[in-house]
């Protein structure tokens, strides 16, 4: 069963409906599995086929629309939704050339008498395809389709105390996973063996609570490729005297706590040490801007002020809002820590601040995940903020 009481889901729905009314949307078709989970508690690897949560602005309860084997066996048994609020399409809709799940979604919308309404869809979502949109338009010719992208995401940006509790658990898990990384990594060790240790720690969790799979796989580029932060791993053995930039996360009940640290195999060069010191100095300055009333761009400005002092400049953003999510990303796609983002911080917002320095021949990545509190911030994990040497 879900980790949250029904009352919390109702509060979430009320906030989503308020946003829908502001955007003149009568019906919202939610296809992002994180948003579906946020609104219903549905947590399953069913997002590889089409599924949706339908929110009617005038109805208390949403509807789940999905594959039969996921609907009644999964949703009814693991969420607060009853059978009256679940609709299931037959398996001949799955990966078919003659039927499409959106044909069934259109049928449900018509049965509910909503086919002439303003219907919002998540236009820029990984899980809502061009074919899905075309089939909905074909099946609902009288509907007025509107862009409902990120409506739920912006509601999700402020976490409840119950959500923060899960993210702090994820922080404890990532502490163990990062320590397992450091303990396993050495010259002559295969990259995949280090990742195996990471996965073991991520899933094993602690004695009090277990771990979940993370929305992003471990990323640990090494040496000259450490400046390319999103590379994963191979079965290559680590050489002597190299630098590895590690970005991983802990996850619990789909809630994440990312963490990045940099590990030198052998004695690091003076240049690596200097870049690590600058990164930590800049990160510390950035973290001090996490307080209610400040804005996302203020965090980036504090970081780049430090870089400018040392003769550097970083073009990319240095972080983002994150929390509940499914593959391929633990970011919420809302606020970013970059120039021009004037999102005002509120207590309960959570961010991954990762101001890495990615150079031509190596990279240094040191990050923290934080929650905004009433008077500042707390880190979700407690792990030494330094360059590690093994």
pTM: 0.96
User: Do 348 and 235 belong together in one domain?
Assistant: yes
User: Do 143 and 167 belong together in one domain?
Assistant: no
Residue 22 inside a domain? The answer is yes
Question: pLDDT band for position 316 (50/70/90)?
Answer: confident
Cα gap 169→190, rounded to integer Å = 29
Residue 195 inside a domain? The answer is yes
Q: Mind listing the pLDDT tens digit for each residue in 247-301? A: 999 999 999 999 999 999 999 999 999 999 999 999 999 999 999 999 999 999 9
pLDDT at 311: 94
With a cut of 90, say whether residue 142 has pLDDT above it: yes
User: Do 196 and 141 belong together in one domain?
Assistant: no
User: Do 169 and 147 belong together in one domain?
Assistant: no
Return contacts of 18-23, CB within 8 angstroms, 24+ apart.
19/151, 19/154, 19/155, 20/55, 20/57, 20/120, 20/148, 20/151, 21/57, 23/120, 23/146, 23/148, 23/151
User: Do 73 and 202 belong together in one domain?
Assistant: no
Mean pLDDT of 365-385: 98
Please answer whether residues 245 and 226 qualify as being in contact, where contact means their C-beta atoms are separated by less than 8 angstroms.
yes
- Per the prediction, the chain carries an average pLDDT of 96
DSSP state for residue 116 in the 8-state scheme: T
Give whole-number Cα distances, 139 to 98, 100, 144, 248, in Å: 14, 11, 12, 43
Residue 1 inside a domain? The answer is no
The CATH number given to whatever domain includes residue 96 is 3.40.350.10
Cα gap 150→35, rounded to integer Å = 9
pLDDT at 360: 81
For residue 155, is the peptide bond before it cis, meaning its omega torsion is within 30 degrees of 0? Answer: no
pLDDT at 2: 67
Q: Mind listing the pLDDT tens digit for each residue in 300-314? A: 999 999 999 999 988
Please answer whether residues 103 and 112 qualify as being in contact, where contact means their C-beta atoms are separated by less than 8 angstroms.
no
Q: Determine how many CB atoms are found less than 10 A away from the CB of residue 77.
A: 8
Q: Mind listing the pLDDT tens digit for each residue in 86-104? A: 999 999 999 999 999 999 9
User: Do 104 and 175 belong together in one domain?
Assistant: no
The CATH number given to whatever domain includes residue 211 is 3.90.230.10
Cα gap 249→167, rounded to integer Å = 11
Residue 115 inside a domain? The answer is yes
- Residue-number span of the structural domain to which 88 is assigned: 6-156
Of the residues 124, 156, 188, the one at which a domain ends: 156
Q: Determine how many CB atoms are found less than 10 A away from the CB of residue 219.
A: 19
b or e along 81-113 (b: 16 or more beta carbons within 10 Å of the residue's beta carbon)? beeebbbbbeeebbeeeeebbbbbbbbbbeeee
Question: pLDDT band for position 225 (50/70/90)?
Answer: confident
Total domains in the chain come to 2
User: Do 311 and 334 belong together in one domain?
Assistant: yes
Question: pLDDT band for position 166 (50/70/90)?
Answer: very high
Cα gap 316→23, rounded to integer Å = 31
pLDDT at 355: 93
Of the residues 156, 181, 208, the one at which a domain ends: 156
Nearest to 206 by CA among 227, 184, 177, 245: 177
Residue 348 inside a domain? The answer is yes
With a cut of 80, say whether residue 227 has pLDDT above it: no
Of the residues 137, 156, 175, the one at which a domain ends: 156
User: Do 250 and 231 belong together in one domain?
Assistant: yes
Give whole-number Cα distances, 186 to 158, 268, 275, 357, in Å: 40, 14, 22, 23
With a cut of 80, say whether residue 208 has pLDDT above it: yes
The count of residues in the chain is 390
Determine the angle formed by the axes of helices 191-204 and 161-184, rounding to 10 degrees.
150
User: Do 151 and 169 belong together in one domain?
Assistant: no
DSSP state for residue 158 in the 8-state scheme: B
Tokens 């190299």, located at residue = 242
pLDDT at 72: 83
User: Do 75 and 150 belong together in one domain?
Assistant: yes
Mean pLDDT of 218-233: 87
Tokens, residue 347: 């207590």
Mean pLDDT of 63-71: 94
Tokens, residue 294: 């400040």
Q: Determine how many CB atoms are found less than 10 A away from the CB of residue 230.
A: 9
User: Do 147 and 283 belong together in one domain?
Assistant: no
Question: pLDDT band for position 1 (50/70/90)?
Answer: low
User: Do 70 and 184 belong together in one domain?
Assistant: no
């Amino acid at each position: 069963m879900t980790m949250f009481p029904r009352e919390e889901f109702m509060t979430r729905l009320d906030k989503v409906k308020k946003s829908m009314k502001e955007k003149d949307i009568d019906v919202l078709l939610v296809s992002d599995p994180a948003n579906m989970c946020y609104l219903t508690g549905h947590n399953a690897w069913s997002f590889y086929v089409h599924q949706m949560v339908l929110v009617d602005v005038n109805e208390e309860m949403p509807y789940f629309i999905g594959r039969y084997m996921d609907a009644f066996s999964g949703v009814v048994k693991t969420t607060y939704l009853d059978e009256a609020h679940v609709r299931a399409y037959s398996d001949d809709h799955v990966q078919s050339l003659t039927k499409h799940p959106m044909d069934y979604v259109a049928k449900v919308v018509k049965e509910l008498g909503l086919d002439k309404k303003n219907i919002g869809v998540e236009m820029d979502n990984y899980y809502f395809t061009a074919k899905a949109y075309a089939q909905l338009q074909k099946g609902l010719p009288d509907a007025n389709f509107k862009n409902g992208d990120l409506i739920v995401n912006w509601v999700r940006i402020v976490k409840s105390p119950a959500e923060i509790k899960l993210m702090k658990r994820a922080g404890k898990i990532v502490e163990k996973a990062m320590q397992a990384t450091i303990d396993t990594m050495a010259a002559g060790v295969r990259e995949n063996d280090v990742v195996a240790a990471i996965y073991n720690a991520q899933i094993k969790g602690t004695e009090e609570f277990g771990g979940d799979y993370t929305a992003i796989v471990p990323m640990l580029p090494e040496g000259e490729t450490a400046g390319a932060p999103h590379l994963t791993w191979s079965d290559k053995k680590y050489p002597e005297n190299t630098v590895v930039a590690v970005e991983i996360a802990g996850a619990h009940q789909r809630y994440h706590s990312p963490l990045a640290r940099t590990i030198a195999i052998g004695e690091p060069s003076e240049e690596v040490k200097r870049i690590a010191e600058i990164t930590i100095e800049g990160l510390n300055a950035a973290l001090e801007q996490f307080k209610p009333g400040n804005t996302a761009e203020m965090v980036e400005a504090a970081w780049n002020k430090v870089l400018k002092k040392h003769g550097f400049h970083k073009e990319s953003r240095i972080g983002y809002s994150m929390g509940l999510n499914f593959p391929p990303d633990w970011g919420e796609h809302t606020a970013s820590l970059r120039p021009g983002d004037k999102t005002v911080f509120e207590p309960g917002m959570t961010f991954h601040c990762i101001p890495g320095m990615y150079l031509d021949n190596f990279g240094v990545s040191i990050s923290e995940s934080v929650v905004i509190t009433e008077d500042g911030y707390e880190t979700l994990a407690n792990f030494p903020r330094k360059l590690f040497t093994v």
